[in-house]
Amino acid sequence: MDRLVITGGNRLEGQIPISGAKNAALPLMCAGLLSSDSLVLSNLPQLADIRTLSDLLGGHGAELKVERDGGPLNGGRTLSITTKDITSTVAPYDIVRKMRASILVLGPLLAREGEATVSLPGGCAIGNRPIDLHLKGFQEMGAEIELKEGYVRAHAPGGRLEGGTVHFPMVSVGATENILMAATLARGTTVIENAAREPEISDLANCLNKMGARVTGIGSETLTVEGVDRLHGGEHDVMPDRIEAGSYAAAAAITNGQIELTGDNLKQVLTGSYDVLKEAGLGFEQTDRGLMCWLKSDHIQGINVVTQPYPGFPTDMQAQVMALMTLCDGASVITETIFENRFMHVPELARMGADITVHGNTATVRGVKKLLGAPVMATDLRASMSLVLAGLAAEGETYVNRIYHLDRGYEALVEKLTACGAKIIREKADGV
């Protein structure tokens, strides 16, 4: 098993290209199951989750072909997905257990074939993330649902879903994406109420429209989808990763450095994190290539922040901002409202000298003068990045173990940070 070795205390300065968003790329890839024509996705990141989903799609009959591979530092990868025929409507446990987003094949399979059998999903252990909203949505569209032996078995009587009104009692990104894809091929019109508004959903809706779908209300809490008989192929650029952008902005601040994030519309992409990071003391300036980020003063400012659905502060940035706050001037209060078990990075940050007290879903972070390098263990994807950030600022060496979590969401992390002056290497750590 690999680990990262970080020698802290180096000021980061340089450019970091922001990769395509994992959370946009995964549903976009699943949309490739909706058409017998080719869907070509560019700016696709090379991540463990992308490889896992590629294996899953291949099992359903999709042919995946890399058309261009510029690498993470030069435009990313372009992938063609062609699913002439669905050869299997079963998504097996061995693949689905590795990644929660695998549940997103349920909607496309059910829409195109009228049936699907998908294993209950796995993923990071950051809290209870049930799929009941997905299933209730499909039932509102006429599907018959059965849970048996760890699998969801879904069937559309007559072979096709029916349009209807799907109201979510709470905002769910995954459920919105699943129902949105399924509704494109349903008979009649589907209205999705209290839909999630994350930019990744807008990215998906725009791609579906390029494929011939009829989706309106994009970016709002009410999506209207007029079903069509078939979708054709299309070409689409995956949006930049807003969590990666926010993470590297935090890296600039925690090392008192200056990093130019390169990519399109990054200020807009950072909605939700932008104001929080500015309050913490970051400066931002738009450039011809993207967005320059730096710490405006000698001190990180303490803040009070609450995670919320988009356009609020994203839960996927909570751990990184907490790492930043460990060195703040004064104290900070961070409240997590999305997942009930997303403070698992706190004990690891404490091993490095952080002063953090947790009461329920609220963490109080009192800034310390310095962090000290230590062996730490990653527990989930975003917690992993918080430990990397802490290691970049700490005195001495930090050993971040179980970095397979990082491989799921940060493309070429070592290469990008090294290019900005970080002392970070990846090495084997047998037995860890």
Question: What is the helix (H) or strand (E) element at residue 402, kind and residue range?
Answer: none
The pTM assigned to this predicted structure is 0.94
- Shared domain check, 307 and 208: no
351 is in an annotated binding site: no
Q: 157 and 71, same structural domain?
A: yes
C-alpha pair distances (Å), 427 with each of 120, 155, 388, 403, 424 = 34, 48, 15, 11, 10
Tens of pLDDT, residue by residue over 249-284, are 999 999 999 999 999 999 999 999 999 999 999 999
7, 396 Cβ separation under 8 angstroms: yes
Q: CA 89, CA 329: separation in Å to the nearest integer? A: 55
387 annotated as ligand-binding: no
User: If pLDDT is split at 50, 70 and 90, which confidence band does 126 have?
Assistant: very low
Count Cβ atoms within 10 A of the Cβ of residue 214 and give its class: 0-12 exposed, 13-18 middle, 19 or more buried: middle
Q: Find the domain containing 122 and state its range.
A: 22-237
CA angle centred on 25, ends 334 and 171, rounded to 5°: 45
Please say if 328 is a catalytic residue: no
Q: With 60 as the cut, is the pLDDT of residue 127 above it?
A: no
Quick check: 314 pLDDT over 90?
Answer: yes
Note whether 193 and 266 are same-domain residues: no
| 218 and 255 fall within a common domain | no
Task: Tell me how far apart the alpha carbons of residues 156 and 429 are, in angstroms, rounded to a whole number.
Answer: 49
Which carries the bigger pLDDT value, residue 374 or residue 297?
374
Distance CA 387, CA 410 (A): 14
Are 223 and 278 within one domain? no
- Number of structural domains found in the chain: 2
- Domain assignment of residue 432, yes or no: no
Q: Could you tell me if 124 and 165 lie in one domain?
A: yes
Any known ligand binding at 77? no
Q: Which candidate in 30, 124, 207, 328 is catalytic?
A: 124
> Is 133 annotated to bind ligand?
yes
Residues 213 and 356 in one domain: no
Asked, for residue 313, whether it belongs to a domain, the answer is yes
pLDDT at 316: 94
pLDDT at 299 over 70: yes
- 147 and 99 together in one domain: yes
Distance CA 424, CA 418 (A): 7
Answer positive or negative: Cα dihedral of 254, 378, 197, 181.
positive
Which residue, 78, 384, 404, 372, is CA-closest to 243? 384
Q: What is the DSSP string of 75-118?
A: T-EEEEEE-SS----EE-HHHHTT-GGGGGGHHHHHHHHSEEEE
**Sign of the dihedral through C-alpha 339, 16, 324, 347:** positive
2 labelled ligand-binding: no
CATH number for 413: 3.65.10.10
Residues 329 and 376 in one domain: yes
